[in-house]
Amino acid sequence: MLVSDDDRTLDYSTQRRFPRYPVDRPLYAVLNWPDTPTMTVSGRCHVIGEGGVGAVMSQQFRLGEVVYLQLKDGLRVYAAVRSQRGFAHGFEFVLLRDAQRHSIRQLCGSASS
C-alpha cells in the first residue's frame, strides 16, 4: 500500500515480514501456569499471517505474556502478546515447529483465496 504524505511516498508493504490476510474465525488462548488451574479464553481472529494473528479476546493480556493459541482443531502454537489495545491483541508466533509452520501457511493460503 502506497501512501503520499507531504510529497513523500511511503511503502508500508515492505515494513512487515509476512503478508496478512483478513479472516473471521474462533480462537482460543490456553493459559497453563504453575500453581494455577488451566484457563481457556475465547476470542475472534480477524487477521492472520505466517508471523502471527490479530484477535479480539474476551480477556485482556499483558504485553510480553506468552499464551498457547488454538487456531483450529489440531493446531496449537505458542504466541507472545506484542500489542494490546483494550481487548484487541496482536500475537506473534514463537517456538514454531515445521509442521505448525506448514499448517499456518495452509491457513494463510485458504484466507488469501
- As given in the structure block, the three cell numbers for residue 88 are 484487541
Each residue's pLDDT tens digit, 16-25: 678 888 999 9
pLDDT in tens, 50-86: 999 999 999 999 999 999 999 988 889 999 999 999 9
- Which one is the CATH code of 18-112: 2.30.29.30, 3.40.50.300, 2.60.40.10, 2.40.10.220? 2.40.10.220
Q: Cβ atoms within 10 A of the Cβ of 32, count?
A: 11
Average pLDDT, rounded, for the chain: 84
Instruction: Identify the pLDDT of residue 64.
Output: 92
Report pTM. Answer: 0.80
Q: Distance (Å, rounded) from C-alpha 35 to C-alpha 86?
A: 27
User: How far lies 85's CA from each of 44, 53, 74, 111, in Å?
Assistant: 15, 14, 29, 24
Residue 60 is predicted with a pLDDT of: 94
